[in-house]
Amino acid sequence: MRRAGLGEGAPSGNYGNHGYSHSGYSACEEENERLTESLRSKVTAIKSLSIEIGHEVKSQNKLLAEMDSQFDSTTGFLGKTMGKLKILSRGSQTKLLCYMMLFSFFVFFVIYGIIKLR
């Protein structure tokens, strides 16, 4: 009982598929294809997610750079203001300056409290 296209020692019922019957081999191939497609879709999802994370990191870095620049300018402004306050404190109006600074701190803390309550 010899089939056309099979090797000499191929046992009957095995169609040259290394001991797998044709239907079993086909089922394994289908399972492999299904798993491969599932893996491919997961890799694609992870790739798109990593690209989105990269875009988000770039935008956050840009925002941080802008904030750093604003903090630097604010630091310079506050430094100049403190220098002017020191010059004023050396004058004869020290008492008035102290009252003005206390009033400024009071207003600052009131505004801070209002913002925190929101």
Environment class of 59 (CB within 10 Å of its CB; exposed 0-12, middle 13-18, buried 19+)? exposed
Q: Please report the pLDDT score of residue 50 as a whole number.
A: 96
Q: Please report the pLDDT score of residue 99 as a whole number.
A: 84
Q: What is the pLDDT of residues 22-51, one digit of tens each?
A: 677 888 999 999 999 999 999 999 999 999
For the chain, the first-to-last Cα distance in angstroms comes to 90
pTM over 0.95: no
Q: Please report the pLDDT score of residue 4 as a whole number.
A: 46
Q: Please report the pLDDT score of residue 96 as a whole number.
A: 78
Instruction: Give CA–CA dist 22/41, Å, rounded.
Output: 28
